[in-house]
Amino acid sequence: MGKLVYGMSVTLDGYVNTAEGTIDFSAPDAETHRFINDRESRIGTYLFGRRMFETMRVWDDADFLTELEDYALEYLPAWQGADKVVYSTTLDQADAPRTRLTHALDVDAVRALKQSSARELAVGGPTLAAHFLRAGLVDELSVFVLPVILGGGTAFLPAGVRLDLTLLEERRFGSGTVFLRYAIRR
């Protein structure tokens, strides 16, 4: 059975983007990116909402890829090797390789996907993750805490959700970023 991991870069005050929705503050340095590349290589399926899918689909854009550093390009095999499921009521199609669009969130279907998966599943984006957290589907939190405070934006975790956690891993990077990985205790 695959475990479902929710992970993102988060500011010290708990936001994944600015109040305007930008993430320009979160670009990882080479050391952090290589660590992320290794972690992402374990993922067999990404579960995205529309906004996160639109953010991540640049990895299918040849022009975007020509501008990247070698350490960033090392992520490409993980992206290309993973399936993607996009949950959106507004998209008509998700024309990207290995990508399936669904217009309704079916928690039982996600549970079945976890049961049938031999690899990790990753949920990208706080809005979709909130549904999975409330349904008890998320097994781990994977957080890159950035040395920045925004004072507003989209929160990493939804209000009103209580989670008891066990720390599984931690790592500090030269940039001041701290990686934390927690199991959610049931």
Tens of pLDDT along 167-185?
999 999 999 999 999 999 9
3-state secondary structure of 89: coil
**For 90-104, 139-153, 162-176, which range has the lowest pLDDT when averaged over its residues?**
90-104
Tokens standing for 80? 């290309």
By the 8 A CB rule, do 34 and 65 touch?
no
pLDDT(62) > 90? no
| H-only helix segments in the chain | 30-40, 50-56, 62-66, 70-73, 76-81, 107-116, 126-134
What pLDDT is stored for residue 85 in this prediction? 97
Q: Which amino acid is at 146?
A: L
Centroid of chain to Cα 5: 8
Global pTM? 0.94
Rounded-to-integer distance, Cα 17 and Cα 79, Å: 22
Spell out the domain ranges in the chain: 4-185
R_g over Cα of the chain: 16
- The answer to whether the CB of 126 falls within 8 A of the CB of 153 is no
Spatial distance between the Cα atoms of 86 and 49, rounded to a whole number of angstroms: 6
The sign one gets for the Cα dihedral 131, 132, 135, 140 is negative
Distance CA 27, CA 136 (A): 30
The stretch 78-105 carries a mean pLDDT of: 94
The CATH architecture annotation of domain 4-185 reads 3-Layer(aba) Sandwich (3.40)
